[in-house]
Chain A
């Protein structure tokens, strides 16, 4: 047992840092450090810089553009890019549909989609949740009926993140209504330009326009866009959701936010002294740091166990811990950051008000604090809510 990074791992970490320093535009870094939501242009540009370097999809098999890094290097890369911070890859492409395509798709699909995902030529979104299918995802109702060499798709998807930018959507659709609900689901790739698709924004409590409703009316999808076998979509969805959990702890991101909290708590005053000197505030922050340190090692243990077992695509059910603790810590840090701002967290900055050319309300770094806190309530809901994660552990680990 040796919990230190090897000299080779440290050299790799330095290489990643040097690459970030050399290649990530400073204005992009600052926007993210300031807690602003990433924008499409920044992410597309950064994805192409990474792809040029061969680092856009590190965890993919090498023949599809992966780097061949061991899990520890993949972890170091993830942590360093989150801490920097750099834009995080569009998960719907590189972490979700990409692995489904290279694992279950045919050769034509691999050739057509994978290079465009790596270069972010295609922006993907996820068509899983429906108004009546949240945690009980398998009860989804969107229908796909075979008509010659097409499926005709009718239904409604919801909580579709960044669908307003999307070129493609991967959808779970019901292709058989006569069988057990998990056994009649298929996995379809749908071009967002197809007639019959309408995207309507859902404004979230932070004022963000991140998620959408997607309506599908008589949408004709070529049968060649079916991934794997008809009615096997639930297996692919479980595979996809399992992959989602392993990257969900976001340790690097929480470290970045803690550094930000310390920095800004040194500027904001409380009772005549910098807030960072307030013992109660400090103890709350330190308690989160301790949880994060433990989570980092829990994550590394899962990474090491995965490495040993080989990538089966079926993560250790214990990785549900990463989702639970990771989201709790993210939520705690966004709350602390809002507390740092005190009364300056109050103003609501609506950047979409037309004709507004007033200077920003000071301090400008306070503007994202409350919205981030509100927005981050989502992290214990999405990706299988924390309660669902507890159900998974209770059943798969504890045998209850």
Chain B
């Protein structure tokens, strides 16, 4: 067992942290958010230049051959900066579809474009009635010659308004809650019949409602088995959950650092408020939650590329539940310990709290995953 980063991984972490420290302060972020797309094209170009977009792909496909550990490093750093760019939907989610579901032609066509930063992707999976069930799909994909015709509506597609292409889950057979009969299709956002309505989200990022009205997709836009795509979707979402856990560690650490600094400088009753034991202990509760989150993130990261769906799923349920619990504890305490200033839009800590809160509602909140894990026999029983 070895917890150390390799030299290359340490370099990656240091250089990304340095870039974000220089270019992604809280005031910079406000400026990036005000851009028409809601994020910084210049930062996106810098990430591409650093090789972040090529990171998880196999060298044979034009990538850098990174492991889930590299993704963990990147997401933790992006989390600490509250970075707004569509790295998660493009490289983590979209990239995972390409890696796990793409055939030779598809990988050859799309991976180089993701790797150089020119292609942005998103996942259109959530629907009005699906809540957190990946298998609840009402959007249909009807066979049409060699290809398919898509009809339906997808909700809160993260960075859907920036995406050049969308991975879409759609039903090729069965009822809306059947596990079989779900396909994954890559749809160009400019295709006739695709309409995208973008909007800001609570955490300052962007999302979109996307409607598919008789959208034609070709046979080579199908990823994996169109009759049984759910295992692929689960695998991608599991990779996403591991990455969100890493991002959460960054978010939680940053808001804890802000909070501890504030306890040291804020004076009341003639002393810094950090001298009050009740506030110290609240800050320690946050610290404990962060270390536990970091530990469970390592576990999720270790399992993120596992092909054993059950084992991998258990790790992700555990991670998402722990992040949900610890993230809320951390966020609510961060606001409370700041007092009134923590409530203000112009101060950073509230934005970390909001990002943490929105992570919990992405791919299933803590209660959802606790339920799935316990219904599946728990974490140790099957081990």
| Chain A residues bordering chain B, tally (CB within 8 A) | 45
Among A1, A4, A294, A390, which residue has its beta carbon within 8 angstroms of that of B295?
A294
Q: Which residues of A contact B291 (CB under 8 A)?
A: 298, 318, 321
| Residue from the list A258, A262, A292, A387 in contact with B281, Cβ < 8 A | A387
Task: State whether the Cβ of B287 lies closer than 8 Å to any Cβ in chain A.
Answer: yes
Q: Which of A2, A262, A294 contacts B2 (CB 8 A)?
A: A2
Contact check, B296 vs A290: say whether CB atoms are below 8 A apart. yes
Q: Check if B374 sits within 8 Å of A283, measured CB to CB.
A: yes
- Decide: B277 and A290 in contact? CB cutoff 8 A: no
- In the assembled complex, B263 has its CB within 8 A of some CB on chain A: yes
Q: Which of A294-329 contact B (CB under 8 A)?
A: 294-298, 300-301, 304-305, 318, 321, 324-325
Judged by a CB distance under 8 angstroms, whether A279 is at the interface is yes
A378 adjacent to chain B (CB < 8 Å): no
Q: Which of A102-110, A176-184, A392-400 contacts B (4 or more CB under 8 A)?
A: A392-400
Q: Which of B197-205, B223-231, B354-362, B375-383 contacts A (4 or more CB under 8 A)?
A: B375-383
Is A111 close to B, CB under 8 A? no
| B1-19 interface with A by 8 A CB criterion | 1-6, 9
Q: Which of B362-377 contact A (CB under 8 A)?
A: 370-371, 373-375
Most chain-A Cβ atoms within 10 A of its Cβ — which of B4, B284, B370?
A: B284
Question: How many B residues touch A, CB cutoff 8 Å?
Answer: 43
Residue pair B280, A3 in contact (C-beta under 8 Å): no
Report yes or no: A298 in contact with B378, Cβ–Cβ below 8 A.
no
The answer to whether B283 touches A297 (Cβ under 8 A) is no
Contact assessment for B5 and A1 in the assembled complex, using a CB-CB cutoff below 8 Å: yes
- Closest chain A CB from B288 CB (angstroms): 5
B215 within 8 A of A: no
Q: Given A1-B3, A304-B1, A400-B263, are A394 and B378 neighbors across the interface (CB < 8 Å)?
A: no
Instruction: Give A132 Cβ to nearest chain B Cβ, in Å.
Output: 21
Given contacts A2-B1, A293-B379, A304-B1, is CB(A400)–CB(B274) below 8 Å? yes
For residue A400, which residue of chain B has the nearest CB?
B274
* A206 CB contacts on chain B under 8 angstroms: none
By beta carbon, the residue of chain B nearest A283 is: B374
Contact between chains at A394 and B281 (CB < 8 Å) = yes
In contact, A399 and B299 (Cβ under 8 angstroms): no
Closest to B296 in A: A294
Q: Is the CB of A293 within 8 A of B296?
A: yes
Question: Does any Cβ of B come within 8 Å of A217's Cβ?
Answer: no
Residues in chain B near residue A9, CB distance under 8 A: 1
Q: Report chain A residues within 8 Å CB of B280.
A: 390-391, 394, 398, 400
Smallest CB separation, B316 vs chain A (Å): 12
B3: chain A residues within 8 A (beta carbon): 1, 3, 300-301, 304-305
A6 contact from B1, B5, B281, B325, Cβ within 8 A: B1
The CA of A397 and the CA of B370, in the complex, are separated in Å by 31
**A259–B381 CA distance with the chains assembled, in angstroms:** 7
Whether A282 pairs with B298 at a CB distance below 8 angstroms is: no
User: A283 contacts which chain B residues (CB < 8 A)?
Assistant: 370-371, 374
A244 at the interface (CB under 8 A from B): no
Contact with A along B264-281 (1 / 0, CB 8 A): 100000000011010011
Taking Cβ atoms with an 8 Å cutoff, the residues of A that contact B are: 1-6, 9, 72, 255, 258-259, 262, 279, 282-283, 285-287, 289-298, 300-301, 304-305, 318, 321, 324-325, 387, 390-391, 393-394, 397-400
Apart from A6-B1, A394-B283, list 6 A-B contacts with CB within 8 A: A1-B2, A4-B302, A290-B370, A397-B287, A400-B274, A400-B275
Interface residues of B (CB under 8 A from A): 1-6, 9, 69, 260, 263-264, 274-275, 277, 280-281, 283-285, 287-288, 291-296, 298-299, 302, 318, 321-322, 325, 370-371, 373-375, 378-381
A–B pairs, 23, beta carbons within 8 Å: A1-B3, A1-B69, A3-B3, A258-B380, A279-B371, A282-B375, A287-B321, A289-B378, A290-B296, A294-B295, A298-B291, A298-B294, A300-B1, A304-B2, A321-B291, A325-B288, A325-B292, A390-B284, A393-B287, A394-B280, A398-B283, A398-B284, A400-B280
Which 3 interchain pairs have the tightest Cβ spacing? A297-B295, A286-B374, A394-B280
